[in-house]
Structure 1
């Protein structure tokens, strides 16, 4: 009997789909020539079909009029999920947008495979929200509702690191204890497992709400936002003395999921008012320009590129010439490490907690398997080896291990 379930890895930054074909995962090219696609959408200002993936990013790069949105998964379980916003001339909720993304993914998978899919097996983080069971449960309910509204009659979920373990446990030896370290765009997830001749035994799963978009946020706040007035001072409207520039607008501008909601009259008026009172007027005028010209995502991509370059071990710059010619704050490996020190600490603690939950000592771990695009950050491997110094460090498919494991799990 043919397996009729579609495996879907709906990620914060990237998504993928696969099926089980003769006992092996077969990834479906949702976009031509690509096994994954950015989890992003673009709504043209003058109407027309929603664009997803690379087409959405291309519209932004080409300067098309409209609204670009990324990191949609981050809003699951939050108040933003059901809020109605005016986007490209029409009121929409993020629930409707995620549903439309999943429906498009399903339709393209069906066209590529030549058959319908009415059942889905989706990955999910161990925890959508850290230390908040109510929001965690709501996020799962939100995602389930989107799948059903997208045309699936049934959806089941599997923790993402468990799926990655299914796809990659063969990298180690039979009987060996392994640790999956899956650092995605929005969450970090861990599975401790034991390899067996007939598969694997999951010993413990754990996860926290921390990922690559959070890394970007910290780098943006520490390196890019000071050029827009972050950390500066304002003159008082009446009387002597100075006030600190409010942080909230910069935090939102540094957060992928919140950028689209800054382009409203109230926020622009607030920025213009701060510019009039700013000690450093030139920096605050740059903030006004970013909001007026809707350059938030261009700024976020520039920060991401700077982060990647500094992670490679070289000094780099965050190219912000689209804001002001020649504007390019420096970023070095040392300054990157300082910006991400809290993230590094939290990831290390979460990995150690996974081993504690599994009841195993770090010295028992034979393999640490890195998964997820953000696992390519140098400090992730360094902390994994510091925790488990006797383990062999291995890498699975950074962007495909989860969807491969989900496809394998559809046979269960």
Structure 2
């Protein structure tokens, strides 16, 4: 029976099959090699939508619950908490299962095959420096695959899969730098017999959604009252605005759970006591009008623009009167702490192999967030003798998984 290669990502997913001499990427949506890892449950209990259709439902203002960054809750108690979603109590494990089941169904429809065995990518570590959570996260994902109709599932580390698809034979060492939506993974390899020989792999729980969160907290949330002060209910003096609701609002996976009566009451009370009621009114509007994802998309767009050739991003959400700019230096400042984390993780990968940075002759950038300028700059600074090459940012992992799926050792 055929193995289906699946790259289940934080932001995007993909599926592929091996064939003699190549890889077939399955079009899970018309004209697309990837499928956004997002779902939308209509309030009227209509059929769940996934991918671009889910985003379109959100953008057009349909009533329902939009969810993204589902992978980030694997290994956490939040995965199994029952929530009322579009009139039904569901867990996030149920949502991931439904997404994987729909992905399998689309792959079968596109290929005419019965697909019951999955070779899935996984980050080197779902959780940084926590083997217990890491093992639980893989177990959680395996359970979701099996519940989605697969009879068997195996896993391969994502940067090792990317090495299969992206390496070039030659002297020296190569380093895969795979910066995805939720994790950053590294594999050091050398070519041996025309194949990459993995010398060491390492990873941390840091990715594009964390970049978005940092940019949001630094550049968007101050316009919603973060950093301000509240008058005391009784007596003189001021209190700092609590940070916790802003952190949740800046976290993709937590946004859907903010729209509760308790949170609405909290936002109203904070506006009443705020020294800057106009800014706090924006927070209240986001909560009451359920605009958290619209704000997150606005931050993501501004981040991408500031990282691009214009070196300036427009942070705009008309519904709450938010209009600001993010400069390239401002983006760099927001992400500076993450630069340090990436540096340490890449350095640790090379050290795990007992190698020297001077031996690295090629850096291969993979994953959508590897397109951030700070990633390229940091890797070039760490490995000055290495050339930098961008692989297929969004499909290198699934291509490598399909190559592995075609090998006898896997199948």
Answering whether residue 239 of structure 2 is matched by residue 243 of structure 1, we say yes
Answering whether residue 90 of structure 2 is matched by residue 92 of structure 1, we say yes
Instruction: Give 2:277's aligned residue.
Output: 281
Output aligned runs, 1:2-401, within 5 Å.
Answer: 4-170=2-168, 173-313=169-309, 314-324=311-321, 327-401=322-396
Alignment deviations for residues 120-156 of structure 1 (CA, whole Å, 9 cap, x no partner): 0000000000011111111010000000000000000
Alignment deviations for residues 339-392 of structure 1 (CA, whole Å, 9 cap, x no partner): 000001100110000000011111101110000000000010111111110001
Preserved contact between residue 23 and residue 408 of structure 1 (Cα < 8 Å)? no
Alignment deviations for residues 296-347 of structure 1 (CA, whole Å, 9 cap, x no partner): 00000000000001011422220121212xx212200001000000001100
Preserved contact between residue 42 and residue 63 of structure 2 (Cα < 8 Å)? yes
**Aligned equivalents of 1:130 and 1:96: distance in 2?**
25
1:411 Cα shift? 2.1
Of 391, 399, 409, which aligns to 2:404? 409
Q: TM-score, normalised by structure 1?
A: 0.97
**Aligned equivalents of 1:311 and 1:395: distance in 2?**
16
1:174 Cα shift? 2.4
Q: Secondary structure at 2:365's aligned position in 1?
A: strand
Q: Secondary structure at 1:351's aligned position in 2?
A: helix
Alignment deviations for residues 37-96 of structure 1 (CA, whole Å, 9 cap, x no partner): 100000001111100000000101111110000000000001110000001111100000
**Aligned equivalents of 1:341 and 1:161: distance in 2?**
24
Preserved contact between residue 234 and residue 274 of structure 1 (Cα < 8 Å)? yes
Preserved contact between residue 30 and residue 108 of structure 1 (Cα < 8 Å)? yes
Q: Secondary structure at 2:323's aligned position in 1?
A: coil
Preserved contact between residue 301 and residue 313 of structure 2 (Cα < 8 Å)? no
Question: Cα RMSD between the aligned structures?
Answer: 0.8
**Aligned equivalents of 2:140 and 2:232: distance in 1?**
44
Query: Between Structure 1 and Structure 2, how many residues are aligned?
Result: 406
Q: Structure 2: any 5+ residue segments left out of the alignment?
A: none
**Aligned equivalents of 1:236 and 1:322: distance in 2?**
30
Preserved contact between residue 175 and residue 196 of structure 1 (Cα < 8 Å)? no
Preserved contact between residue 366 and residue 390 of structure 2 (Cα < 8 Å)? yes
**Aligned equivalents of 1:169 and 1:175: distance in 2?**
12
1:197 Cα shift? 2.9
**Aligned equivalents of 2:367 and 2:406: distance in 1?**
24
**Aligned equivalents of 1:384 and 1:196: distance in 2?**
24
**Aligned equivalents of 1:315 and 1:30: distance in 2?**
34
**Aligned equivalents of 1:28 and 1:322: distance in 2?**
38
